[in-house]
Amino acid sequence: MSEAKSSQDEEFREYVAARSAALHRAAYLLTGNWATAEDLVQTTLTKTYLAWGRIRTTDSVDAYARRILYNTNASWWRKRSNREKPTEVFEDRPDLSRDFTEHTAMRDAMWRHIAALPKRQRAVLVLRYYEHRTDPQIADTLGISVGTVKSQASRALAGLRKRLGSPAAALGLAMEPKEAA
């Protein structure tokens, strides 16, 4: 192996060590499933490695990897949309509901609503609210215009508001009636 190739491989290993946790977090927020997120990150890192010689000297390695992550997720979704069908019940999944705190239940309920959004709207919300990206950064990452980012965010939030209604009703929680003073 040449010394230049060895140096490139070491730089890539350092990049993976420094950024893989953030990529896993973003992938999980996009997919809502750790196993799929791990596959998505693995594919992203493979594609990034293949382009490493071209991109490693630029300041945009992270932007390149994130764009691959989001585009690959969209591509997978398009391919799977005709084959996989969601289900409400997972027979092989243990019932862990008694171990959850109220906070966890609320977070999970919110993620169910977010997961029901169209892929692009979900990606915009993840980038904006969980990755703290600006609209121009989101537009660049997803390869869309800033106006599309704003309209997708607006539609996503309107959809969530409509679905959620009152927080208690949306989460299936019974509200205790307030006592009259």
User: What is the per-residue DSSP string for 3-68?
Assistant: HHHHHHHHHHHHHHHHHHHHHHHHHHHHHS-HHHHHHHHHHHHHHHHHTHHHHTTSTTHHHHHHHH
pLDDT at residue 135, as a whole number: 93
pLDDT at residue 42, as a whole number: 94
Residue 90 lies in a domain: no
Closest to 4 (Cα-Cα) out of 56, 41, 45, 63: 56
Total number of domains constituting the chain: 1
Question: Do 144 and 124 touch, CB atoms closer than 8 A?
Answer: no
Residue 27: count other Cβ atoms within 10 Å of its Cβ. Answer: 26
- Select the more confidently predicted residue: 165 or 96: 165
pLDDT at residue 136, as a whole number: 94
For range 40-61, the mean pLDDT: 87
Q: Determine which of 2-6, 16-20, 38-42, 171-175 has the lowest per-residue pLDDT on average.
A: 171-175
Residue 94 lies in a domain: no
pLDDT at residue 70, as a whole number: 92
For range 19-37, the mean pLDDT: 91
Give the helix, strand, coil percentages of the chain, each rounded to 5: 70, 0, 30
Residue 92 lies in a domain: no
Q: How many residues does the chain have?
A: 181
We report the CATH number of the domain holding residue 159 as 1.20.140.160
Structural domain harbouring 152 = 3-81+99-170
Residue 30 lies in a domain: yes
Residue 180 lies in a domain: no
Residue 145 lies in a domain: yes
Residue 66 lies in a domain: yes
pLDDT at residue 26, as a whole number: 92
Asked if residue 174 has pLDDT above 80, the reply is no
pLDDT at residue 90, as a whole number: 57
Residue 41 lies in a domain: yes
